[in-house]
Amino acid sequence: MTVRNSVTPRAAGEVSHFDIETDVLIVGYGAAGASAAYEAAHAGARVLIVDRSGGPGGASAMSGGEIYLGGGTPIQQACGYDDTPEAMAAFLSAALGSGADVAKIEEYSAGSVDHFHWLVDRGVPFKPSMWDAPTWVPPTDDGLMWLGENSWPFVELAKPAPRGHRPTANDFGGKLLMECLTEAAESAGAETLFDTYVTTLVVGDDNTVVGAVARQYGRELTIRARRGVILTTGGFVDNDAMLEAYAPELLGHTKVSAGTDDGSGIRMAQALGAAVRHMSAGQVGISLIPGLAARGMVVNALGHRFINEDTYPGRIGQSALYRNNMGGSWAGDDTAVWVIVDEEGFEEVPEPQRWGVRPTHVAETAAELEELTGLPAGSLTATLTRYNEFATAGADLDHHKAPRWLRPLTAPFAAIDVKAGVRPPSEAGDRRGTGASVFTLGGLHTDLDGHVLDHDGGPIPGLFAAGRAANGLHGFGYISGTSLGDGTFFGRRAGTAAARNA
């Protein structure tokens, strides 16, 4: 028989005794939880972090470690870029899509340089050097990168500056980031409890959250939290029932998570009357190599270009999954996307940066490529002719790719089917799937201090949230670095607010 973990809140009067007492209980030890824990402990509260896994990390430790920071950080200055909080806020307001939380974006942008220093003071290293080409993660240890700020339409909306800050690593920086944050939280005095799954919130007579119920090795644990509970449990991409209810477009794709994003924190708070926002929104990482896409064309199942290929690659994925396909024209095959390159473009991207991606089809003419890929007859030929005219003229009148990346494509042509996936050259095996990797952006509605809000917009006493358990900055758009960015920034705010909630 499977045990049912009810999220229905438990009345404090029904709890005969608390096994553990603390001031601030933090549920989930990823980047948001560690940042909250540091600030709460630093403010003098007794802090307990509980995680269902055998140690800290969550998705944060697996991540690229990119953090969206700007407004004039020392790294930006050292690399020769001027930036302002206003330009950063203007970019984020546009890039994070309709419904983005403008108040949070302004606060985040105004506090970004301070947050940079806070991270550095916690030991997170950033190298003052720039990776100046579209990529998911710089293949070098460069600390700064563009995340679409210099691409259309943003280049016309805000003064561009690169704001992707990646901790010094020759690859993914999330592990290093988490090592620094856990060291900071625990040095500040936060205590930890692992292999412990929090199932239910405990509420006092006035609906104030006063603790939680957890399961550890099959037994129940009750935890009293005198000043508040902070939910930093991550999103809900691992919960197919929630995806079906809220974000069905994200079903069936590769899940970008540590396997622990079951939405439990969100459901516990919902059971107490918490409001949620943008639950259908998702980050869509499409399996293309940004350097190849920028040097060629990205086309859909109709053989049409649909976006400027030099933009932040996550926008290409979101566009494929949400916008391009919603009209029904490619219904049933929503991530059918090909990158079309020529030999020069392919060779310009060094082999290690291609992550094992090879052409799936090669042909001497666009018409032959149509036959090989199954694209409609004449479609790719027309798209290529138009693209080459724009490239010759130096202006992409359809999608505004920057002139730097425009060059007429010459035979032979290669098509790369994104469903073939990416794979480090060292790894064998077939990665064929939908070509998309997703995680959820929607979550609990919170204010600037991380209070979880109810349906009337008022705070639920004693309850806080941050990271992907909350909606954070996001509307329906996503830019890399804003997840770790808002999780650490507003996690800190939640930690401070909970510690003061005496």
Residue type for position 102: V
Residue list 116-155, contact with ligand FAD (CB under 6 A): none
Contact status, residue 12 vs residue 209, Cβ threshold 8 Å = no
Which of 135, 308, 446, 483 forms a contact with ligand FAD (CB under 6 A)? 483
Question: Could you say whether residue 481 binds ligand FAD (CB under 6 A)?
Answer: yes
Given the rule CB under 6 A, which of 18-26, 101-109, 258-266, 428-436 is the region that contacts ligand FAD?
258-266
The rounded distance, in Å, linking the Cα atoms of 176 and 178 is: 5
Which of 38, 91, 154, 197 forms a contact with ligand FAD (CB under 6 A)? 197
Question: Could you say whether residue 271 binds ligand FAD (CB under 6 A)?
Answer: no
Q: Catalogue the E-assigned strands of 12-68.
A: 20-27, 47-50, 67-68
Which of 71, 138, 143, 234 forms a contact with ligand FAD (CB under 6 A)? 234
Question: Could you say whether residue 286 binds ligand FAD (CB under 6 A)?
Answer: no
Would you tell me how many other CB atoms lie within 10 Å of the CB of residue 205? 9
Question: Measured from the CB of residue 500, what is the shortest distance to ligand FAD in angstroms?
Answer: 22
Question: Measured from the CB of residue 233, what is the shortest distance to ligand FAD in angstroms?
Answer: 4
Question: Could you say whether residue 28 binds ligand FAD (CB under 6 A)?
Answer: yes
Closer to ligand FAD at the Cβ: 102 or 258?
A: 258
Closer to ligand FAD at the Cβ: 285 or 359?
A: 285
* DSSP annotation of 320: I
Q: Is 354 helix (H, G, I), strand (E, B) or coil?
A: helix
Residue type for position 69: L
Given the rule CB under 6 A, which of 203-211, 318-326, 329-337, 483-491 is the region that contacts ligand FAD?
483-491
Given the rule CB under 6 A, which of 102-110, 228-236, 333-341, 344-352 is the region that contacts ligand FAD?
228-236
Question: Could you say whether residue 30 binds ligand FAD (CB under 6 A)?
Answer: yes
Closer to ligand FAD at the Cβ: 59 or 180?
A: 59
Question: Could you say whether residue 474 binds ligand FAD (CB under 6 A)?
Answer: no
Residues near ligand FAD (CB under 6 A), total: 42
Question: Could you say whether residue 60 binds ligand FAD (CB under 6 A)?
Answer: yes
Question: Could you say whether residue 239 binds ligand FAD (CB under 6 A)?
Answer: no
Question: Could you say whether residue 71 binds ligand FAD (CB under 6 A)?
Answer: no
Contact status, residue 471 vs residue 97, Cβ threshold 8 Å = no
Question: Could you say whether residue 38 binds ligand FAD (CB under 6 A)?
Answer: no
DSSP of 440-461 = E--EE-B-TT-EEEBTTS-EEE
Given the rule CB under 6 A, which of 84-92, 393-401, 418-426, 462-470 is the region that contacts ligand FAD?
462-470
Structure tokens at 25: 């209980």
Which of 109, 151, 260, 335 forms a contact with ligand FAD (CB under 6 A)? 260
Give, rounded to a whole angstrom, the gap between the first and last alpha carbons of the chain. 42
Residue list 335-394, contact with ligand FAD (CB under 6 A): none
Question: Could you say whether residue 64 binds ligand FAD (CB under 6 A)?
Answer: yes
Structure tokens at 461: 């006493």
Question: Could you say whether residue 487 binds ligand FAD (CB under 6 A)?
Answer: yes
Question: Could you say whether residue 70 binds ligand FAD (CB under 6 A)?
Answer: no
Residue type for position 36: A
Question: Measured from the CB of residue 179, what is the shortest distance to ligand FAD in angstroms?
Answer: 13
Question: Could you say whether residue 162 binds ligand FAD (CB under 6 A)?
Answer: no
Closer to ligand FAD at the Cβ: 115 or 305?
A: 115
Burial label for 404, CB within 10 Å (0-12, 13-18, 19+), is exposed
Closest CA to 443 of 491, 495, 500: 491
Before 412, cis peptide (omega within 30)? yes
How, if at all, do strands 196-203 and 191-193 pair?
unpaired
Structure tokens at 217: 């090795």
The rounded distance, in Å, linking the Cα atoms of 143 and 131 is: 8
Residue type for position 336: A
The rounded distance, in Å, linking the Cα atoms of 70 and 81 is: 10
- 161 backbone φψ class: left, alpha, beta (φ>0; ψ -120 to 50): beta
Which of 63, 93, 222, 311 forms a contact with ligand FAD (CB under 6 A)? 63
Residue list 421-450, contact with ligand FAD (CB under 6 A): 439
Rg (CA), the chain: 23
Question: Could you say whether residue 468 binds ligand FAD (CB under 6 A)?
Answer: yes
Closer to ligand FAD at the Cβ: 258 or 302?
A: 258
Which of 480, 489, 494, 496 forms a contact with ligand FAD (CB under 6 A)? 480
Contact status, residue 215 vs residue 197, Cβ threshold 8 Å = yes
Angle at 315 between CA 482 and CA 436, to 5 degrees: 95
Burial label for 219, CB within 10 Å (0-12, 13-18, 19+), is exposed
Closest CA to 288 of 369, 366, 368, 345: 345
Q: Which residue is nearest to ligand FAD (CB)?
A: 30
Given the rule CB under 6 A, which of 62-70, 351-359, 425-433, 447-455 is the region that contacts ligand FAD?
62-70
Q: Which residues contact ligand FAD by CB under 6 A?
A: 27-33, 50-53, 57-60, 62-66, 197-198, 232-234, 256-258, 260, 264-265, 439, 467-469, 480-485, 487
